[in-house]
Structure 1
Amino acid sequence: MAAATAAACALLGSRFAPGLRWPRLPRALAPRPRHAQAKPGGSRLADAARAFRASTRNNGGEYEWKDPDSPLDVVHVEFVSRSGEVTRVAGKVGDNVMYLAQRHGISIEGACEASLACCTCHVYVDDKFYDMLPSPTETEEDLLDMAPGLRETSRLSCQILLRRDLESIKLTLPRATRNFYVDGHRPTPH
């Protein structure tokens, strides 16, 4: 009732008395949208920002083109191509696997540029490493549902960030993908 009265007063006040301002509830008492409600131990601003984050940290591939600062930061990744050829590349802690693959000429498209909007960077993660990765988000799972050749160990490579414990992780490219290129273009970072 109070909310309806306040809305009516605001409408009438603006039409019949343009200079008149009706009192507003203090910000602390105003209702908040569900996504902005604070959780125990968190701040309202951090919770609101967290609600809008869609995917992992995205550096646009620039970070992956830099060499590691220390030999301790090197993490090796094995990519198995569609034909079965194994390519071992050296990345570093924090590298996005999709951009790392593109840097080394591995044919992973990444049409959405790691914005979590397609499934063209779909890979199969070796069983040994699958459980070591963070669980996929609901959005990633929805996109994986559209990927051809889905398996239990399927992940989007744009959502995998390298860590030291992922040394020698083995990723296999599926035989088919939802390729958005129609002219034979090879993917390159922007």
Structure 2
Amino acid sequence: MKRIVRHGQRQRDAARALEDACRPLEDALYDAKEAYWKAVESGDPAAIREAKKAKQEAAARFEETRTWLRREAEIVKLQTRTIPRLEQILAKPMLTGKDAREDATARAEVEAALAAAKAELETALAAALPLRQQLEQFGETVDGDPVPPDLPPGSADVSLPAVTVRGRARRTNERG
């Protein structure tokens, strides 16, 4: 059975923002490709080499920028959603069964997931800083500081729809 994947409004907005941010670089890449094919049609070896070099530089710049934007989005997601959510789960008691005992295996799983998320965050931050410097060397302007590793939970600009909860009483079967 094929699984239906539905994307929310935030995911579509994030994808559009990525496309909009990369549009000038993508246009430059397409222009470089057109210049390359015109050079190939002309048959001039020197023009072909220059156009190929320009095309490769435009492609590298485009891919580096896309990688950077995706990595920044992943860092923000880890800091503002994933890690705070796991810490919130760990702050509460994890009870199971009728005895309401602490479930050590569930707690260990959440602690392992939290440790993995923090390790992933450190790796992403370590990879993001050199990439930021490389983008600046390409001539791009990178505004703002890198995302701080100690971003407090809930500090991201997130607006969520209101949640409505209705209680439902459970009735016992009173047939006799």
- Give the structure with higher Rg (CA): 2
Q: Quick check: which one's helix share is greater?
A: 2
Q: With structure 1 as the length reference, what TM-score do the two structures score?
A: 0.24
Q: Quick check: which one's strand share is greater?
A: 1
Q: With structure 2 as the length reference, what TM-score do the two structures score?
A: 0.26
